[in-house]
Amino acid sequence: MSKPDISSDVLQFIDANVIVTDPDTGKKGTFAMMQMLVNRRELFNDAQNPLHVDGFVPLVGENGSVTNLNAIHGKLGWHNQQVHGALWQKPSDLLIFYGYPNSFNSAVNGWDNEKVARDMAQYGLIVLGDGLQTLLASGSHDGSSGASTLTDSTASWTTDEFVGKKIVNVTDGSTGSITANTATTITATLSGGTENDWDAGDEYRVANHADYANVFKIVPRIKQYNPSAKIFGYVTVNQTLANFEDKADDWDALGVDGIFMDEAGYDYGTTATNDRDAFNAKVDYVHALSSASTCFANAWNMASDAEPGRDEVVGVLRERQAEGEGNGRGLRHVKKCRETSVSRSELQSDGGRTDCIGLEDLPATWDLEHAGLKGLTLPEDAAYDEGERDGPHEVSGTRGRQGENGTHAAV
């Protein structure tokens, strides 16, 4: 059997008796001995070692201390830095869009619902404007199957009151524009569904907004493209509980993830609509919804929402333009926030998560752990740096689109 070809330098390296030179001292010796002395220098660099080098810092110092590691670990907050670095996630991109969703980026998407859904799915947080969700009637078809006209014998509509409105067959996914209605029937040419007709038991919705039929299709497609995206429907706190509940219910029917509760501060509305008890009642109602069960609160003064005694909200927005504090795109928030989170279940299961909040609005004596914001904690590095306290700050990694009502900050 022939010997395998082995490179000469490899043969020389594994030969314990070959003579080698230490580049740091220029001294020579057999490979085995020199390797042992070099390792000793790396560990101790003691003066008795023939390969000792003045000024070389060994791994093990006096009294057995691990000097290099001590120097690293001795840095202020080193362990916290490592933990934060390992756990950091890029803040979610925020889209606040109060127009017709079907028109989103229309120059590129061409009013195509599928393209719109794919485009919006790039965002982690999406807020859709008020009014899109409003329903005028809903129920189920109790006429014959395969019918071109909807029949609901329990209804008592005014003749032709729905002409020009949109109707959705929730069961087969078809939609159409209403051309006529009687007290118990609605006529519309359906399209875009599996059968485009009415079968017994088919669920229907009559919507007030012209773009409802598109929203009905866009919302579930966003979730298919980006299952982690959170979609919120806009409802103001500044109204009666009954009105708030009706609007929240309509958003819930569309399958959004939560309610964007705008005008949530004490400086809006009255005691009956915006005090602590009124706010809590609306938060509790949202939490009980089947789909839109997450609260996303927005107030001019963030302290209104973070006051002790407020019920749980996932995140708090704040907005301010007074005295020139706006920054062009309206995003103003803590510069060093670690992440954006709107998942109520995640916050409850992981009490150490950190949301971005406007710290300068909170009295120094407040403890967020007892402020009604369950799951929110105050990170050591979240406070403003000196010189940054008075200026507006944009959340890193957040792309915000302004809505018709002005400025918003990403939670």
Domain that holds residue 187: 135-207
298 shares its domain with 356: yes
Residues 6+ apart with CB under 8 A from 177: 164, 165, 166, 167, 188, 189
296-306 pLDDT, tens per residue?
988 876 555 55
Percent of the chain with pLDDT over 90: 50
Residue 216 within a domain: yes
Residue 375 within a domain: no
Confidence of residue 307 (pLDDT cuts 50, 70, 90): low
Residue 385 within a domain: no
261 shares its domain with 305: yes
Q: Among candidates 357, 399, 353, which has minimal Cα distance to 382?
A: 357
Could you tell me the pTM of the whole model? Answer: 0.59
Lowest mean pLDDT among 10-24, 225-239, 252-266, 367-381: 367-381
Residue 383 within a domain: no
pLDDT > 50? residue 169: yes
220 shares its domain with 342: yes
Q: Please tell me the distance from the alpha carbon of residue 344 to that of residue 93, in angstroms, as a whole number.
A: 18
- For residue 328, the domain's CATH number is 3.20.20
Strands 203-207 and 125-128: unpaired
Which range of 2-11, 141-150, 265-274, 398-407 scores highest in mean pLDDT? It is 141-150
Residue-level pLDDT at 200 = 96
125 shares its domain with 167: no
Last residue of a domain, one of 207, 223, 257: 207
Lowest mean pLDDT among 7-16, 25-34, 154-163: 7-16
Confidence of residue 43 (pLDDT cuts 50, 70, 90): confident
Percent of the chain with pLDDT over 70: 65
pLDDT > 50? residue 317: no
Contacts 24+ apart (CB under 8 A), 36-39: none
326 shares its domain with 179: no
108 shares its domain with 246: yes
Alpha helix (H) residue ranges in 226-328:
241-254, 271-274, 276-287, 303-306
The first and second tokens of residue 221, run together, are: 């497609």
Residue-level pLDDT at 82 = 72
Lowest mean pLDDT among 346-355, 377-386, 397-406: 397-406
Which range of 57-66, 200-209, 268-277, 385-394 scores highest in mean pLDDT? It is 200-209
The first and second tokens of residue 201, run together, are: 């038991």
Residue-level pLDDT at 397 = 27
List residues bridging with 125 in a β-sheet: 94, 230
Residue 348 within a domain: yes
Rg (CA), the chain: 32
Confidence of residue 83 (pLDDT cuts 50, 70, 90): confident
359 shares its domain with 292: yes
More confident residue, 9 or 374: 9
Residue-level pLDDT at 65 = 61
Strands 125-128 and 230-236: parallel
Q: Please tell me the distance from the alpha carbon of residue 101 to that of residue 151, in angstroms, as a whole number.
A: 30
36 shares its domain with 161: no
Q: Please tell me the distance from the alpha carbon of residue 7 to that of residue 13, in angstroms, as a whole number.
A: 10
Q: Please tell me the distance from the alpha carbon of residue 51 to that of residue 174, in angstroms, as a whole number.
A: 84
- Count of structural domains within the chain: 3
Strands 135-140 and 203-207: antiparallel
Residue 34 within a domain: yes
49 shares its domain with 143: no
108-166 pLDDT, tens per residue?
999 999 999 999 999 999 999 999 999 999 999 999 999 999 999 999 999 999 999 99
321-374 pLDDT, tens per residue?
333 333 222 222 222 222 333 333 333 333 333 333 333 334 443 333 333 333
Residues 6+ apart with CB under 8 A from 114: 221
Outline where DSSP puts E strands in 8-161. 19-21, 28-30, 94-97, 125-128, 135-140, 149-151
236 shares its domain with 153: no
220 shares its domain with 190: no
276 shares its domain with 358: yes
Residue 379 within a domain: no
pLDDT > 90? residue 96: yes
Alpha helix (H) residue ranges in 308-354:
344-349
Residue-level pLDDT at 303 = 55
